[in-house]
Amino acid sequence: MKKIWFLMLMMCAVSVFTACSDDEGENEVVNPISNPSVPAEAEIGTEVLVRGTGFDASLARLSLKDANDVETTLTDLSFTASGVSFTIPMSLVAGDYTLFLTQNGVWELGKIKLLPATLPIIGLSFPKEAYIGQELTIAGNNFDAACKIYLETTDEEATRTELTITDRSNGVVCTIPATVTEGTYNLVLAQSGAEWVLGEITLEATRRLKSMLVEVDYSEMGGNVDTYSYYLAYNAQGQVESINADEEGTMPWYSLTYSNGQISIEPGITAEENLNEPYPFIFEVEDNQVIKHIDGSREYSWTYTEDKLTDIVRISNSKSLLALEWEKDNAVQIGDNTFTYDENQKVKGVDISKCLSFISTLDADIELFCAELLGISGAKSLNLLKTFSAEGLEHAMTCTLDEKGYLTSVSIEGNVEVYFFPITVNLVYE
């Protein structure tokens, strides 16, 4: 009897366990998506289609987890018969991710490698060097109205300074704040939730001309070495208020006043003290370039091509007063004077080619000379001068640069047979 009872109990136990096993099989939850397929790679900011059937638009939630298990929920899902599509958020960074589905449980759908977003700017261009406190133009198309530009230090701290954008009509024009220091920075674009390093840019402090001393050596003709000094005095706004024959400013060649885009230039040294009769003239300035000068009743327009001065023309009769020719970013001819350059050596500071007509004659083209001293004559020649030719005769030039590439002295050989005497020009910046 006991054996019979034992057998009955065993049969009951087997029946119970079998029933439990059957219940567990009936309640097991499985991935609701059939044949899920996740792209192996996708670019940040692009649309991705995850193929598969079984997505429930009312329940499904998708998210991406990075290697550190930081989860980003995907929004604006679009469900179709083929699966579900979404846009990779621009806030994500490139790397390896796992795509998860939350729908009656949490399911891993697959791995995906996110690639950096493509720079949206077409025709990007900006200078590799710029000056603190001045404007920086970044050319290109597709900058949006909310984009931001940053300077980022290249050290481990990667400290950022946002640049103020003043013009978005053609690329972006930014102002480099006076508070940043000299050095090399990354130029960073932030747009549509993503960021791109546009490249490196080197910033320098603006150096303005303090003085130009011109020596003309007449000794080969039995004369002396005459010195002509041009000291620039600046007002509190950083504008040149006088060009003087002495450092103290008691003997002004010219005094300058500013009003409504005009610079009035009045002679200070009388004809008896000056070699030539001085005369007043007026510059009209726009975007830091002379666009016209007025000499008594005569008006002359200044024409530029890509910021390079190409002609000064009398408005009343369209006659050219002074034409300039440029090759490879260098002024190779100004009026009747021609120049050659060392294309392997760049130069900063005063563009001496724009000054030599006046320096060599102490009379001709005073307007261009003054405009260059004021820094309002447009683009400067890029390279170092080698020779200067006047009246068909070529004169060798020796130039000296300081440690930052600024032109500090120029020596021009003379030819007494044509009464062209050796000239030395010394320049000081501050």
pLDDT value at residue 26: 54
Question: Which backbone phi and psi does 15 adopt, to 5 degrees?
Answer: -65, -40
Say if residue 157's pLDDT is above 60: yes
Amino acid 190 reads: A
Assigned CATH class of 209-429: mainly beta
Residue 338's Cβ-side half-sphere holds a number of Cα atoms within 13 Å equal to 7
For the chain, count helices (H), then strands (E): 3, 33
pLDDT value at residue 18: 46
Q: Are 172 and 165 in contact (CB under 8 A)?
A: yes
For the residues 159-188, what does the mean pLDDT come to?
94
- The pLDDT tens digits of the residues spanning 197-217 come to 999 999 998 889 999 999 999
- Give the pLDDT band of residue 93 (cuts 50, 70, 90): confident
| Percentage of residues in the chain having pLDDT higher than 70 | 91
Q: How many angstroms separate the CA atoms of 75 and 34, rounded?
A: 22
pLDDT value at residue 27: 59
pLDDT value at residue 91: 84
Say if residue 357's pLDDT is above 80: yes
Structure tokens at 75: 């929004």
pLDDT value at residue 323: 96
Q: Are 277 and 268 in contact (CB under 8 A)?
A: no
Nearest to 415 by CA among 173, 253, 221, 235: 221
pTM more than 0.85: no
Say if residue 348's pLDDT is above 90: yes
Topology classification of domain 37-115: Immunoglobulin-like (2.60.40)
Say if residue 192's pLDDT is above 80: yes
DSSP 8-state class, residue 365: T
Q: How many angstroms separate the CA atoms of 73 and 391, rounded?
A: 77
Domains 37-115 and 209-429 share a fold: no
Assigned CATH class of 122-204: mainly beta
Q: How many angstroms separate the CA atoms of 336 and 347, rounded?
A: 23
Say if residue 6's pLDDT is above 80: no
Say if residue 111's pLDDT is above 80: yes
- Other Cβ atoms within 10 Å of 257 Cβ, number: 12
pLDDT value at residue 45: 87
Mind giving me the DSSP string for 389-406? EETTEEEEEEEEE-TTSB
Q: How many angstroms separate the CA atoms of 275 and 212, rounded?
A: 18
Buried b (16+ CB within 10 A) or exposed e, 85-106: ebbbbeebeeeebbbbbebeee
pLDDT value at residue 271: 43
Q: Where are the domains of the chain?
A: 37-115, 122-204, 209-429
